[in-house]
Amino acid sequence: MTFNTKSNYKVDQGATEGDAVACSLQTALGDRSTNDGIRSNRHWYKKIFLSLLVVMPVMVGCTKKEDEIVIGQYGSLTGSEATFGISTDRGVRMAFDEINEKGGIKGKKIKLITLDDQGKADEAASAVTRLITQNKVIALLGEVASGRSKAAAPIAQQNKIPMISPSSTNPDVTKVGDYIFRVCFIDPFQGFVMAKFASENLKAKKAAVLRDVKSDYSVGLADTFVKEFKKMGGEIVSDSSYQGQQDIDFKAQLTEIRSKTPDVIFVPGYYTEVGMIAQQSRQLGIQTPLLGGDGWDSPKLHEIGKEAINGNYFSNHYTTESTDPNVIGFIKKYKEKYSVTPDGLAALGYDAARILADAITRSDLSPKSIRDEVAKTKDFLGVTGKITINEQRDAVKSAVVVKVDGPERKFVTTVAP
Amino acid sequence: MQDFVQHLINGIGLGSIYALIALGYTMVYGILQMINFAHSDVYMIGAFAAYYVAKWTGLEQHPGVGSLMIILVSSIVVCGILGILIERLAYRPLRKAPKLNILITAIGVSLFLEYSGQVVFGADPKVFPDILMDSNLFNLAGVEIKTLDFTVLTVGILSVLFLNFVIYKTKIGKAMRSVSINPSVAAMLGVNTDRIITFTFVIGSALAAIGSVLVGMKYPKIDPLMGMMIGLKAFVAAVLGGIGSLSGAVLGAMIMGLSEEMVVAYLSSTYRDALAFGILILILIFRPAGLLGKYNVEKV
Amino acid sequence: MQSFKKPILSLMALLILGLGLNFGFNAFIQLQAKFIIINMILAMSLNLVNGYTGQFSLGHAGFMAIGAYVAAYLAMNWNFLPPELSILSYLLFVLVGGLVAAFAGFLVGKPSLRLRGDYLAIVTLGFSEIIRVALLNMDFLGGARGLAGIPGLNSFYLDFVFSSLWLVFCFFALWRLIKSSHGRGLLAVKEDEIAAEAMGIDTAFMKVKAFVVSSFFAGVAGGLYAYFVQFISPGSFTFLHSVNVVIMVVLGGMGSMTGSLVAAAIITILPEALRPLQEITGVDLRMVIYSLSLIILMILRPKGLFGELELPEVWRKYVRRSA
């Protein structure tokens, strides 16, 4: 039962060995050396650590080799949308590796620098700033989630670095400026696709909507679905929300939905919450089919949703059951390299990377001319379809609707724009 | 009407979980007069301990009550040890320090557990294994009551009864009460205060472990930050009921669970977290002792 | 009227520093410099409440959020001056943001400051979260998805000058407040509230006053943040951000203005300085080190870097060795 009063007292009074102000920490630690000999040794390491900290920022800058083409990628490699970032990254890497094996672009190898934004918009903005100012990339790939693309796009636009999003579907993303592109369809189309599927294929008259209020993508897609479904004569009986990356209990919203007896429930969110929503809806006895968008596309969907998620439908960018030789070849190569079947994100990452590389080949390696060449992309044969970049810098493509069957996705139908 | 009953059931389910965690908060506050911010992270570690035990021993292939028991016990052991470590290394050196320092340290421990969790387990959510098949227990006015919800509620009530028994009917309970009233006098009268405090932490952590396994079964998504919101709400529940009071913690938790469910059902889910804080502020401004607590007059 | 000599000299020194940074260093270091200034303002303002008045507030992020959203909204919708003069209107907008935040500080402080220690901490945390959730539900402010494309000054030097102005204002305002009789009153409240009350100091008024001033500058910092990062969302102002500021105050020394300055600089640079570690080990250990340091700091050196002393006193004591 020792009363440790002396420490406080001593710091106020005592002046022991010390150096300059910057080393006042040193002094504080030096105080204790009179008590305990071992401790001063431990503090020695702290001094070195601290001086390293001061020196590190200088060392942080990268060395840039002249014979490399530096491209930056930012994505959610961790967090509740981790599979998006990881899949996209794999697709991108595969594309660039193929190109580098063939000698690169104009004789130079592509160097890809990938930063993790942890699924947060702030981090995305910060990552992109870092890539542009510190790593001096000449083009950017990212992001999957529209919310994060929207946060980062103004920075790319301001610095005049072209940015290609592989799978952000919210229309606002490319509206930020003429340096922002995407290689996927946009949500006004996707909402239409699912509304059409609901009313024509499933003959649904009443729909309930459960949206992720934290995601631009989810809110935008929900809005267009509501609009299109109503245009087709349907009725929206319930429109509720949840907080993505946070909520784990959806029983309250689902109970309300249950009482309105809809024919379908539209859940345009991301796979982690969708899986849980499916489970909880079945637990509440709701047997209505669930519909969704490409945010469902993840190998983890089935892991989280288990049996509950089977038999539900979502719209996506490509199907693994395609008969196109291009697609079959891509799937085979991807499986060999990563031992899993590629999902839509990987396919889009692959296409985005190849379109970027294609544009760089035609350019003079300045960001402006890369930007111009990307805008000229026409009829590019991607694994997600034939890609033409239109004046709004979006891609005009078809969507497929697939049905969830365990880890597989059964093709149901294609909808053209 | 049927929906209202369903909401009621959902709310009680939520409340029972808050109760298990709130008990831990209230006990530590009763003894040490400190808010153990790290409690919710001990809870998180419990969930992950259960997850990894199930994975490594292959128990997830054999669901059943037996596996559940094994996982539960391992989780309790891990959390208990963690609780002891935290108390020993982070809180004990600061027992004589101003309250503020301990609070800051508690925040530090909480953050440390969360971020180390992200490093060690990965920040992506994991799926808790299916240890017990959930099923309908019985039907009440057209509303299904699930086994799992019933289990959580029962465990919550049993825990309170057990704790009440320990604190008021046993010798160690008497020692705990004396330490909470005045630690130095208790020490003078021969109570080993350090041992008692450690014991309190162990019980609190064990309850958190049980809570985490039950929650894992009900809401299979687990990630290193899962404790944050639940911990804050459970803490509010403890304050609402009267911090230091066991039955208060349970009462507060039930109120929290029910009101949260109603707000999400009839208002919007974005308000669910603000509600917790709103309740906290109202309680602290109008009745700081809580519903079942006693008001202590501060003497000069 | 006290002399303006020191503030003007400091401002000029900062402007020269800014010129140096503008031409000598790359954009990333410039970004860090801007963040350092914001963090300095945050740390100093929180120090007023936590350090000098001894009231533990965990809600700083909420006031920052208010300042940020007000300033952003005004800049996006009410900018009445041409782009070349926008720095003047931004000055006004940040000021308004700060005032609104100060008002919020008053609303929060009045009922809460009766509570003590732990409870006050939790209540301020609660208010901060309520502010955040309120913002989440305001769709005209972007709601959960935030406000993107906030106009800024679009030039590093202008940004730096703009924030330096506020930094100098904040520092000298707080410094003079502390050295005055008001400041003594605050310290008295910290030492022993009941004795202070007995001596005739209106403790409730003192506490609320400190809180309001602190919230004002938090709002100012928020406005600056909005103009620099040009994207804000309720997720930028969470409990973790409040804790970040608390760490700065604790590290610098609760009760030392210059300590807060130094600590703010260290804490801002630390994550970036530790990034090479992340690249080597492949995992993000930065926050782990951060939180561990906090624990160790509280156990071994709760006074922080400077304790309650200011820079000149620390210099004298440890360098010149005169007590």
State the DSSP H helix or E strand holding residue B117, giving kind and residue range, or none if neither. helix B99-121
Indicate if the pLDDT at residue B133 is higher than 80. Answer: no
Query: Band of the pLDDT at B76, cuts 50, 70, 90?
Result: very high
Least confident segment among B179-188, B259-268, B291-300, C256-265: B291-300
Examine residue A410 and state whether it is found in any structural domain, yes or no: no
Which residues on B lie below 8 Å from C119 (Cβ)?
A: 284, 288
CA C1 – CA C24 distance, rounded (Å): 38
Phi, psi for residue A211 in degrees, rounded to 5: -110, 160
pLDDT surpasses 80 at C144: no
**Predicted confidence (pLDDT) at residue C112 exceeds the cutoff of 60:** yes
Residues in Cβ contact with A51 at an 8 Å cutoff, skipping those fewer than 6 apart: none
- For residue A86, give its domain range: 68-185+322-397
More confident residue, C320 or A249: A249
Distance from CA of A20 to the nearest CA of C (A): 6
Low-confidence ranges of chain A (pLDDT < 50): 1-42, 45, 49, 53-63
> Tokens representing C244?
């970040």
Closest CA to C143 of C8, C233, C277: C233
- Sequence length of chain C is 323
Element (H, E) at A60: helix A37-60
Please determine, for residue C175, whether its predicted confidence score (pLDDT) is greater than 60: yes
Return the structure tokens found at A370: 């890369």
Mean pLDDT comparison of A339-343, B97-101, C157-161, highest-scoring range: A339-343
pTM for the complete prediction?
A: 0.83
Sort A10 into a burial class: Cβ within 10 Å, 0-12 / 13-18 / 19+: middle
Domain boundary among A316, A331, A349: A316
Same domain, A326 and A388: yes
Answer whether residue A402 is part of any domain: no
State how many domains chain B has.
1
- Minimal Cα–Cα distance from C298 to chain B, Å? 6
Structure-token pair, residue C195:
């004795």
Residue B87 belongs to some domain of the structure: yes
> Using CB atoms within 10 A of its CB, is residue C87 exposed (0-12), middle (13-18) or buried (19+)?
middle
Residue A414 lies in a domain: no
**C-alpha–C-alpha distance, residues B231 and B37, integer Å:** 8
Percentages helix, strand, coil for chain B (3-state, rounded to 5) are 75, 5, 20
d(CA C73, CA B92): 48
Length of chain A: 417
**Domain boundary pick from A40, A60, A80:** A60
B116 in any annotated domain: yes
Name the strand (E) or helix (H) holding B82.
helix B65-86
Q: Is B14 on the interface with A (CB under 8 A)?
A: yes
Whether residue B105 and residue C285 make contact (CB cut-off 8 A), yes or no, is no
From the CB of residue C272, how many other CB atoms can be counted at a distance below 10 Å?
19
Compute CA A76 distance to the chain's CA centroid, rounded to the nearest angstrom: 5
Q: Indicate left, alpha or beta for A160 from its phi (over 0: left) and psi (-120 to 50: alpha).
A: left
Task: Examine the domain organization and report whether A29 and A94 are in the same domain.
Answer: no
Residues in A 247-306 with any Cβ partner in B closer than 8 A: 247-249, 251-253, 255-256, 258-259, 272, 276, 279, 283-285, 300, 303-304, 306
Q: Which of A82, A272, A285 sits opposite B221 (nearest CB)?
A: A272
User: Is residue B95, in this structure, part of any structural domain at all?
Assistant: yes
CB pair distance less than 8 Å for B123 and A79: yes
The per-residue pLDDT for range C27-49, each reduced to its tens digit, is 777 878 889 999 999 999 999 99
Which residues on A lie below 8 Å from B118 (Cβ)? 78
Residue C35: which of C148, C160, C157, C215 has the closest Cα?
Answer: C160
β-pairing verdict for C231-232 and C147-148: antiparallel
Residues of chain B contacting A300 with CB distance shorter than 8 Å: 127
Q: Identify the domain containing residue B72 by its residue range.
A: 24-224
CB contact under 8 A, C287 and B268: no
Question: A-C interface: how many C-beta pairs under 8 angstroms?
Answer: 103
Contacts of B103 in chain C (CB under 8 A): 56, 117-118, 121
Average pLDDT over residues C131-160: 80
Give the CA distances from residue A116 to residues B109, B174, B255, in Å, rounded to whole numbers and listed in that order. Answer: 25, 53, 40
Quote the tokens at residue B145.
């009551």
B3 inside domain: no
Is A213–C314 a contact, with Cβ atoms under 8 angstroms apart? no
Query: Of the candidates C119, C142, C105, C296, which has an alpha carbon nearest to the alpha carbon of residue C226?
Result: C142
Whether C212 shows a pLDDT value over 90: the answer reads yes
At residue A207, the pLDDT reads: 94
Query: Does some domain include residue A271?
Result: yes
pLDDT tens, residue by residue, A135-175: 889 999 989 988 889 888 888 988 899 999 999 988 888 88
Q: Cα–Cα distances in Å, from C38 out to C5, C152, C218, C222, C247?
A: 24, 15, 9, 8, 15
Phi/psi at A241 (5° precision):
-140, 165
Same domain, A104 and A51: no
Q: Is the pLDDT of residue C308 over 80?
A: no
A3 CB within 8 Å of a chain B CB: yes
Closest-CA distance of chain C to residue B204, Å? 20
Mean pLDDT over residues B41-61, rounded?
Answer: 87
Mean pLDDT of B33-41: 89
The alpha carbon of residue C133 is apart from the nearest alpha carbon of chain B, in Å, by 6
Using a CB-CB cut-off of 8 Å, the residues of chain C touching B276 are: 126
The CATH number covering residue A150 comes to 3.40.50.2300
Residue B136 pLDDT more than 70?
no
Q: Check if B122 contacts C (Cβ < 8 Å).
A: no
> pLDDT averaged over chain B?
85
Interface contact C280, partner B, CB < 8 A: no
Check residue C137 and give its pLDDT: 81
Chain C: give the shortest CA distance to residue A311, in Å.
Answer: 31
Question: Whole-angstrom distance between the N-terminal and C-terminal Cα of chain B?
Answer: 55
> What pLDDT, on a 0 to 100 scale, did the predictor assign at position C39?
94
| Kind of pairing between the strands at A399-405 and A313-316 | antiparallel
Percent of chain B topping pLDDT 70: 93
Sequence-distant contacts of A160-165: CB under 8 A, at least 24 apart: A160/A367, A160/A368, A160/A371, A161/A132, A161/A137, A161/A367, A162/A367, A162/A370, A162/A371, A162/A374, A163/A128, A163/A139, A164/A139, A164/A140, A164/A352, A164/A355, A164/A356, A164/A374, A165/A141, A165/A352
A256, containing H or E segment: helix A251-259
Which value does ipTM take for this structure? 0.85
Q: Touching A: which chains, 3+ CB pairs < 8 A?
A: B, C
For residue C319, the chain A residues in CB contact (below 8 A) are 18-21
Q: Answer yes or no: do A195 and A291 share one domain.
A: yes
Could you give the 3-state DSSP secondary structure of residue B2? Answer: helix
Number of domain units in chain A: 3
Is a pLDDT exceeding 60 seen at residue C219?
yes
Please state the three-class secondary structure of chain C as a single string: CCCCHHHHHHHHHHHHHHHHHHHHCCHHHHHHHHHHHHHHHHHHHHHHHHHHCCCCCCCHHHHHHHHHHHHHHHHHHCCCCCHHHHHHHHHHHHHHHHHHHHHHHHHHHHHHCCCCHHHHHHHHHHHHHHHHHHHHCCHHHCHHHCEECCCCCCCHHHHHHHHHHHHHHHHHHHHHHHHCHHHHHHHHHHHCHHHHHHCCCCHHHHHHHHHHHHHHHHHHHHHHHHHHHCEECHHHCCHHHHHHHHHHHHHHCCCCHHHHHHHHHHHHHHHHHCHHHHHHHCCCCHHHHHHHHHHHHHHHCCCCCCCCCCHHHHHHHHHCCCC
Q: How far apart are CA C256 and CA C168, in angstroms?
A: 16
Are A78 and A168 in the same domain? Answer: yes
Using only C-alpha atoms, what is the Rg of chain B? 19
Beta-bridge mates of residue A360: none
Q: Is A151 within 8 Å of C305 when comparing Cβ atoms?
A: no
Give kind and range of the element (H or E) at residue B115: helix B99-121
d(CA C240, CA C132): 12
Do A96 and A161 lie in a common domain? Answer: yes
Per-residue pLDDT tens for C281-292? 666 677 788 888
Which member of A78, A259, A306 has the closest CB to residue B124? A78
